[in-house]
Each structure stands twice: as C-alpha cells, then as structure tokens.
Structure 1
Amino acid sequence: MAKVELKQPIVQAIADDVKDAASVVLVDYRGLTVAQDTDLRKQLREAGIVYKVCKNTMMKRAFEGTEYAALEEHLEGPSAIAISKDDATAPARILCKFAKNAKALELKAGVVEGAVYDAQALAEVAKVPSREELLSKLLGSLQSPITNLARVLNQIAEQGGAANCEAPAEAAAEAEEVAAEAVEEAPAQEAEATEE
C-alpha cells in the first residue's frame, strides 16, 4: 500500500472533525508533562471538545479549500488541534485557563465561527462566558421584574389586610407561579429556537 493511501484516512478523519465545527484552535503542546497533558485532555473531553495531536502536513491537506485554510501559516512545530461543534468559545476558554498554570502550552491561532484569530485575539475570545452562563444571566434578568412585582403585590395585600385585598394576594401568587413556569420553560424554548 502506498503512503498516500495510508495517510488519506487520517486526513479524512481530520476533515470530518472540522466539518461544521463552531471553532478550531491550534496549540503548541511541547513541554507539557504527561500529567498535565492527561488533565488537559480530561477537561476538554468533559466539555465535548475533540483534541488531537496531528501532523502538520495532514492538517494542511484536511484544511485545503475550507475556512480553516488560513491556519496553514501557523502549522509549524508540534501542533495539536481542539475542535468544538457546540460552544464556539469553549476551546479558547479552557486552553487559556489551562495555559495560565501550564506555561508550556501555547495557543497559536484559531477559527471561531468563521473568523480567524491569532493567539492574542483568542485570549479575548476566552473571556466570553459560556452559553449556559449567558442563558442563566438572561433568565435571571427576565425573572427579576416578575419576582419583584409579586413581592410588591404581596406586601400590599399584607398591609391592607387579607379581607380587603384578596385579589392582590391572589395576583401575587399567580405572578410567582408564572415566574417559576417561565424559568422552567425557557431552556426548552431556547432549544427549540436553536433547532429552527
């Protein structure tokens, strides 16, 4: 079997991994200890990120004709690739955080949602919170006014007496129920919107 035939499945595997990826980040892993490398791989795997050490020539062939072709100029020396299909900022965030303690790990460049970033720009991308954090902040902002309204209506009901203000007390209870339902339904509605 020719060398090209042996290399083709590897190139195809890389091409399949980067196809439809939200982000791809290249790193130089030289100098990492076995323990550090194992810990890094574990963190990336738990976040749903594919992490591979590949030959630069194989990656160049896999990137040809794609938006990742711009990464070819950064393919020098030992390179590893981190690929995320879901959370575009996760690879940069995890790798930058890990690199603070493991000085040997060096980010080279990456493509996040179609835009090419160098190492400094990836550090800025890493500061963007995860999707879950952003959703929880959004839900907190949406829930806060409803909860405050329920508290105010409840206080009015308590000050005016139960006999005189049954309607506001009922309204406060209903407002609290609506707020609780909104919090429970929001992730499902967000998932449906994402699928569309």
Structure 2
Amino acid sequence: MGRTLENKKEIVSELKDSLSRSQLALVVDYKGLSVAEISDLRDRLRPNGATCKIAKNTLMRIAVDGDDTWQPVTQFLQGSSALVLIEEDFGGAIKAYQGFQKDRKKTELRGGVMEGRALNQDDIKAITELPTKEELIAQIAGLLKANTTKIAVGLNAVPTKLAVGLKEVPSSLTRAIKAVSEQEQS
C-alpha cells in the first residue's frame, strides 16, 4: 500500500523543518544499506548535531522547491538518496559519515549544499579540515589568556619602573647639585 497524500505532506513538512534548522546538507547514495546500517549511521551522526533523512527524491524536491538556500540539492537527487542534515559541527559530522563509509564501503557521497551553493567532494573535504567549534573556543581562550597575561605583566611593570625612577631622583638630584657646585668652584 502506497503513502497517502496526507502522509506525503507530513514528510515534506518534516523535511522543510529539518532543512530550516540545518546549515549544511550532504546527499548520500545509500543503496545496499540495511535498516541496521542506516541506524548505525544515524547513531554516529547524532552526537555531532546531524541527522540522516531518507525520503523519495520527488518529496525532497518538493521540500526544497522555492527555497534558494536548498535548491541546488536537486542536482544530486538520483537513485537512492539520503540527506545528511548538519546543524552545528560540520567537520565532526562529515568525519562521522566518512568513518561510517570507510567501515561499510556501501555508500557514496554525491555532494552537498551550504548557503545556497552546491559543494563537490573537494569542498566537503576542505570543510573537514577546518577546526571544530571546541578547538576554536580553545584557541580563543588561549589567545585571551595570553593577552591578559601580557597586560598584567605590563601593568605590573609600570609601578616597578616608576618606583625605580623615583628612587633614582634623589641620587640624581644629589649628583646634579654636586656637579653644579664643582662647576661653580672652578
């Protein structure tokens, strides 16, 4: 028994909702995967803020119709297509998929879409080489810590140099008076 019109509308609505929360979509050929293997893929993607959606290509086309951000995905929809929708950790999610693909050797990444632009496999590989959100936060924290340390050292040096300078004033003054008096005597 086929899907009802109401059921198809619900699937399209779910796809639109998932796409609205996503920043990157990958199209994967999942032909030959069992239900257990698809569940394994979903389990690997979930910790990275990604989901795997499987629907008929026509329903996916309807979901992206009129949406310039996701319209380029239609060029990758042929055969058995699954959408990997990534909300947050691009690199982590793509690496999770690549790990799954390496283990199963049954899927093929066709391409992706980000900010209305179609991505080829080289573009997607470049995204995986970007630092993760956690790595960026750590780098920023390190920079902030280094700068505050430099500021603290600099602020600490000012009173020290001022104290040394003030300490030198009396002896410099004494030397100046002595030099003036010696000059007057000669």
TM-score (norm 1): 0.66
In 1, distance between residues paired with 2:9 and 2:114?
26
The structural deviation recorded for 1:30 is 2.4
User: Do the aligned partners of residues 102 and 137 (structure 1) sit closer, same or farther apart at CA in structure 2, a change above 3 Å counting?
Assistant: farther
Partner of 1:80: 82
Unaligned ranges ≥5, structure 2:
161-186
Matched residue type, 1:104: K
Opposite residue 104 of structure 2, the aligned amino acid is: A
**Is the Cα–Cα contact under 8 Å of residues 93 and 126 in structure 1 kept in the other structure?**
yes
| Matches for 1:62-141 after TM superposition, within 5 Å | 62-66=63-67, 67-141=69-143
- The one-letter code sitting in structure 2 at the alignment partner of 1:100 is K
Deviation at 1:10, TM superposition (A): 0.9
Deviations along 1:78-130, one digit per CA (max 9) or x if unpaired, are: 11111123334443332234333332221111112333202232122122122
Once residues 102 and 153 of structure 2 are traced to their aligned partners in structure 1, the CA distance between those partners, rounded to angstroms, is 45
Are the aligned partners of 2:71 and 2:116 in contact in 1 as well (CA < 8 Å)?
Answer: no
- Is the 1:83–1:91 Cα contact (8 Å) retained in structure 2? no
Cα distance in 2 for partners of 1:116, 1:82 equals 14
Pair member with larger Rg: 2
- Residue 32 of structure 2 corresponds to 31
- Identical residues among aligned pairs (%): 32
Name the structure 1 match of 2:59.
Answer: 58
Q: Which residue of the partner structure matches residue 17 of structure 1?
A: 18
> Match for residue 169 of structure 1?
none
2:58 aligned partner, one-letter code: T
In the aligned structure 2, how far is the partner of 1:151 from the partner of 1:124?
40
- What is the correspondence of 1:169-180 to structure 2 with a 5 Å cutoff? none
The question of whether the paired residues in 1 share the 8 Å contact of 2:13 and 2:63 is answered with yes
Task: State the distance in 2 between where 1:139 and 1:43 align.
Answer: 29
Aligned-pair Cα RMSD in Å: 3.1
Q: Size of the alignment, in residue pairs?
A: 158
Describe the shift of the 1:133–1:113 C-alpha distance in structure 2 as closer, same or farther (beyond 3 A). farther
